[in-house]
Amino acid sequence: MKIIVPATSANLGPGFDALGLSLKLYNEIEITPQSFTCISIKGEGSKKNSIKKNNSFVNIFNEIYLSLVGKTDDFKFSFTNNIPFSRGLGSSSSVVIGAIAAAYEMAGFKVDRNTILNKAVFYENHPDNIAPATFGGFTSSIIENSKVYTQKANLSDDIKAVVVIPDKAMSTNDSRNKLPKHYSMKDTVSNLAHAAFLTSCFIKQDYDSLRIASKDMMHENLRMQSLPELFDVRNIAYKNGALMSTLSGSGSTFLNIAYKKDAPNLQKQLAENFKDFRVEILDFDNDGFKIISKS
């Protein structure tokens, strides 16, 4: 079988640990039965032997597969990793969702997306990345009594993502540790209001209001201080047609959303100003993970 899992961008400014969306940048995994376990990696991580020796995808796949069929079997795992590691584009979520969905498929069970999502939350306990990796589109999620509840809205073909990907990785745990333990009521209420308004904008496809809706008071500026160029990314993006410009997850990638007609110029301006960073135009994914070929 072959499964592809999309990149994701989470938080989207004020939607800390709750809001996310899916991008057409995919990790691809092919799995075939064989007499011994074998792992091959192309793209991201291909030069890291540690990933072959202790592969998170394979570990999760084996745990879920064992729970479903009561035994372990050997497979060849062929990875083509296109999502950058530790850049705020959901590479870890793609591993978790892909491994669980693939295990269900290879075990001969129906791949139910709600089941996959709720298995995934035990491996990644924030739904802002795993929900869009599962369902695609824009997602707003909560966890109640250890169960994930998600609402999804499709994203229009009229908008594009212009992502700025620095060459510097950012650890989610390190980044989270820099955040304060307590917030003022003013900042908390501001983020609640903006996250609710931002959700409504995506559902109604009122993209002209994204800039004011995506204002954050809790985490972005603190995280961006470790890579100050990101403040310039945001300023230049807004001067060149961006509808929204936010830190992607915990960074270091910056997500810019623009209308399709404005995306090429925005990409050009950002690329000219940040020659050491990757700047790419990506479509939005409305499907989530896909099983291309059946087992």
56 is in an annotated binding site: no
Model-wide pTM > 0.85: yes
For the stretch 44-82, pLDDT in tens is 988 887 788 889 999 999 999 999 999 999 999 999 999
Domains within the chain, CATH numbers bracketed: 2-154+285-293 (3.30.230.10), 159-282 (3.30.70.890)
pLDDT digits (tens, 9 = 90+) for 87-119: 999 999 999 999 999 999 999 999 999 999 999
Question: Residue 112: how many CA atoms within 13 Å on its side-chain side?
Answer: 6
Q: Give the residue among 3, 295, 281, 265 at the shortest CA–CA distance from 133.
A: 3
User: Is 50 assigned a ligand-binding role in the annotation?
Assistant: no
Cis peptide before 9 (omega within 30 of 0): no
Residue 211 has pLDDT above 90, yes or no: yes
91 annotated ligand-binding residue = yes
Residue 93 marked in a binding site: yes
Does 190 count as an annotated binding residue? no
Residue from 166, 114, 144 nearest 277 by CA = 166
Q: What is the dihedral of CA 195, 200, 206, 212, to 10 degrees?
A: -20
171 is in an annotated binding site: no
Does the annotation list 84 as a binding residue? Answer: yes
Q: Does 156 show up as a binding residue in the annotation?
A: no
Consult the annotation and say whether 270 binds a ligand. Answer: no
Confirm or deny that 289 is annotated as ligand binding: no
pLDDT tens for 7-27 read 999 999 999 999 999 999 999
